[in-house]
Each structure stands twice: as structure tokens, then as C-alpha cells.
Structure 1
């Protein structure tokens, strides 16, 4: 198993070109992946394979994820000053209409979302034009669509734009400060419970570190030793290598659009090296 995991951000919109617009990039990349003879599979399949919970053929496969859970993941919305953006979800539908179901029968995108309603409202005001574009009203529809799933990106991202300290006096701006049980419960377990309440009867089981900040406490203590509390099967950072059977389940690697690749040619090279 050598599965590259590609990551996009719905709020990465700085124009209408591939570089700087993850919506444009995803539309191009879906075609590139298919033309390269690679198969897109759900991220959960990769984790199940890693943990010995399934035995699928994942040769020449790729998984897709997106972070933060903005409404741009699911709805077509204006992004000032760059106009209407085709959502990630609708981009998947466009690809399926264009190429047909058989081109990518397991087409899927995993969206890691921020749980706290208060944090999402404040981040929307301070970071996203105050248009109420960090909602949860689409999570269940995405989860039941068969094309997307909703997973855990923490309670509040410990985002630097949030007012006051984080849980249990945690300074804002770094997830490395989630370094004890109380803070970890507040950021991961509380988030899982909230997300599960929205997408019930489905449950989230995958965690993605905000900022790709992988604290040693979370990776080596809280996540492996307190699964009965948080319910996570694996966690993701940004290690920029394919997932293999040797990968650390509590720090699984991903490639970030705009950071680890900036053009279709770079992605093509990455995919052929990775698979």
C-alpha cells in the first residue's frame, strides 16, 4: 500500500488560476488523476487497510481531503473579490457528469471540520468577510451523499483570531499547546461528540491536526491511550509521503495543495513517485 493523500482548503482563493485557487486546482486534478490511471478511494478505506480492518486492493490509489469545513466545501458561494466559486462537492458532481460513474466509482472527499459553533462564527467574522460561511447545516447532507464524509478537525482549531485563551488557559495560535489531558479532551473528544450529534447516526473516526501541529503528547499518549474517550482511529498531519503500512497511525502524512505542489505537472510527478 502506497496511497498519497491530497489536501485542499476551500478558503484558498486568491484568483481564478490553478495557483492560488484550490477549487480550480481540484477540478483540474480530478481529471489528471483519472488520466494517470489512478483510482480515488475514501480516506477511511486507507485507514481500515492500515489497521487490518479491511483487505481491499489499494494499488495505484489516491485519497482526497479538505480542511476547516467552510461552506465553500459544499455550496457554490461568492468569495470577494474573486466571484463565484464552484464548491468541492459540486466539483465532484461535475466530474462524475463529465466522465461518468465508471471513471471513478469510489470517488470521495473527506472534509475535516471545526466543531465549535461560537468559534466558527467568530472566525467567519474575522477571517471570511462575515457572510456566515462556516456553518454545519450541510454536514449531514454531505455525509449521506456518498461523495463526502465529515471528520474531526478539533473543537476550535485553537485559531489565533479567536478572542481570549483556549481551553484550560491555552494560549491561542498553536495546536502544539494541546499538551495535557484536559486540553486534549476539550479539543478532540468534545469536537467528536458535537460532530457526531450533527451527522448521527454516522460517527466521525478520523482526526486532522490543525496547522499540522503534531504535539508529542497527542501523538504518543492521548490519541493511542484514550481511544475509548475520543473514538478516533487515526490522525493526520502533513508529512508529504504516501501512506504505507509503515506509517504512524497517529501522524499519517498528506500533501497540501499550494504547498507541496503548485501545478498539474508537479502533482503528476508527485503521484507517479508516490504510487
Structure 2
């Protein structure tokens, strides 16, 4: 098993070409992956394989993820500067309509969402356009499509746009400040509880580190020791290599669009490599 996991941020829209628009890149990458004869599979299949919970053939496979849980993941939105934007969900359905269900029968996207409604509102006002682009009304509908899984991207991202004080007095702007059980419980277990209530009877089992910051306490202590509290099976970082049998389950690697690749040609090299 050597499965590249690709990550996108659907709010990354500063233009309408590949390099400046993650949804446009996502749509193009679906076709590139298919053209290369690779198979898109759910991220939880990769985790199940790593943990010995399943035995599937994952040769020549790719998994897709997106972070932060903006409405751009699921809904087409009129961007005030760059016009109508196709959601990641509709990029998936467009691909199915174009190439047929049999082209990628296991097509799937994992969306890591921020749980706190208050934090999402502050991020929407402070970093986006203040138009309500980070609500949670779409989560159950997305989960019900069978094409998208809703997973855990923390309670509030400990984001700088969220006013002080942070949880347990944490300084804002870095997830590395999550250095004790109280802070970890508030950021991870509380997020799981909130998300689970919204997507029931489904449950979140995968965590993604905000900012790709991996605190020693969370990695070494909280995630491995307090599974009954938080319910996570694995956690995603960056790492820029495929997930393989020796990967660290509490810091699984991903390639991030706009950072690890910025063009179809660069992604082609990653996938062929």
C-alpha cells in the first residue's frame, strides 16, 4: 500500500485558473487521476488498511480530502470577485456525469470541518467575505450523498480570527499550544461530540491537525491514550509522501494543493512517482 492523500482548501479562490482556484484544480485533478489509470478511494479505506481493520487491494489508489468545512465544499456560491464557483461536491457529480459511475466506482472526498459555530462565524467575517460561508447546515446532506464524509478538524482551529481568550488560556494562531489534556479534550473530543450530533447516525473517526501543526502532547499522549474520549482512529498532517504500511497513524502524510504542487504537471509527477 502506497496511497497519496491529496488535500484542498475550497476557500482558496484568488482567481479562476488552476494555480489560483482550488475548486478548479480539484475538478482538473479528478480527470488527471482518472487519465493516469489510478483509482480514487475513501480515506477511511486507507486508514482501515493501515490498522488491519480491512484487507482491500489499494494498489494504484489515491484518496481526496479538503479542510476547514466551508460551504464551498458542498454548495455552488457566487464569489463577489471571481463569479460563480462550482463546489467540490458538484465537481464530483460533474465528473460522474461526464465519465460515468463506472469510471471511479469508489469516488469519495473527506471533508475536515471546524466544529464551533462561533469560531466559524468569526473566521467567515475575518478571513472570508462575511456572507455565511461556514455554516453546518450542509453537513448531513453531504454525508447522505455517499460521496463525502464529514470529519474532525478541531473545535475552533485555535484560529487567530477567533477572539481571545483561547481555550484554557491558549494564545491564538497555532495548534502547537494544545499541550495538555484539558486543551486537547476541548479541541478534539468536544469537536467530535458536536460533529457526531450533526451527522448522526454517522460518526467522525478521523482528525486533521489545524495548520498541519502536530503538538507533541496530542500526538504522543492524547490521541493514543484517550481513544474512548475522542473516538479518533487516526490523524492527518502533511508530510508529502504516500501513506504506506509503516506510516504513523497519528500523523499520516498528505500532499497539499498550492503548497506541494501548483500545476497539473507537478501533480502528475507526484502521482507517477
Q: Distance in 1 between matches of 2:182 and 2:111?
A: 26
Q: TM-score, normalised by structure 2?
A: 0.99
Question: Could you say which residue in structure 1 is the equivalent of 2:145?
Answer: 145
Question: Could you say which residue in structure 2 is the equivalent of 1:36?
Answer: 36
Q: Deviations over 1:120-139 (max 9, x none)?
A: 11111111111001010010
Residues 1:259 and 2:259 aligned together? yes
Q: Distance in 2 between matches of 1:144 and 1:73?
A: 14
State the secondary structure of the residue aligned to 1:19. helix
State the secondary structure of the residue aligned to 2:118. helix
Question: Could you say which residue in structure 1 is the equivalent of 2:237?
Answer: 237
Q: Distance in 2 between matches of 1:269 and 1:28?
A: 15
Question: Could you say which residue in structure 1 is the equivalent of 2:115?
Answer: 115
State the secondary structure of the residue aligned to 1:195. helix
Q: Deviations over 1:145-177 (max 9, x none)?
A: 110000000000000111112110000000000
Question: Could you say which residue in structure 2 is the equivalent of 1:87?
Answer: 87
State the secondary structure of the residue aligned to 1:106. coil
Q: Distance in 2 between matches of 1:16 and 1:122?
A: 26
Query: 1:211-230, aligned counterparts within 5 Å?
Result: 211-230=211-230
Q: Could you list the structure 1 runs, at least 4 aligned residues long, displaced by more than 4 angstroms after superposition.
A: none
Q: Distance in 2 between matches of 1:70 and 1:9?
A: 9
Structure 1 unmatched runs, 5+: none
Structure 1 residue 217, shift from structure 2 partner? 0.7
Structure 1 residue 20, shift from structure 2 partner? 1.3
Q: Distance in 2 between matches of 1:166 and 1:208?
A: 19
Q: Distance in 2 between matches of 1:252 and 1:70?
A: 23
Q: Distance in 1 between matches of 2:102 and 2:96?
A: 9
Q: TM-score, normalised by structure 1?
A: 0.99
Q: Deviations over 1:88-115 (max 9, x none)?
A: 0000000000000010000000000000
Q: Distance in 2 between matches of 1:221 and 1:166?
A: 21
Q: Distance in 2 between matches of 1:260 and 1:80?
A: 28
Q: Distance in 2 between matches of 1:168 and 1:147?
A: 37
State the secondary structure of the residue aligned to 1:238. strand
Q: Distance in 1 between matches of 2:174 and 2:222?
A: 17
Residues 1:169 and 2:175 aligned together? no
Residues 1:160 and 2:160 aligned together? yes
Residues 1:210 and 2:204 aligned together? no
Question: Could you say which residue in structure 2 is the equivalent of 1:133?
Answer: 133
Question: How many residues were matched structurally?
Answer: 273
Q: Distance in 1 between matches of 2:243 and 2:251?
A: 10
Q: Distance in 1 between matches of 2:260 and 2:97?
A: 29
Q: Distance in 1 between matches of 2:216 and 2:66?
A: 24
Structure 1 residue 80, shift from structure 2 partner? 2.4
Question: Could you say which residue in structure 1 is the equivalent of 2:179?
Answer: 179
Q: Distance in 2 between matches of 1:31 and 1:58?
A: 19
Superposition RMSD in Å: 0.5
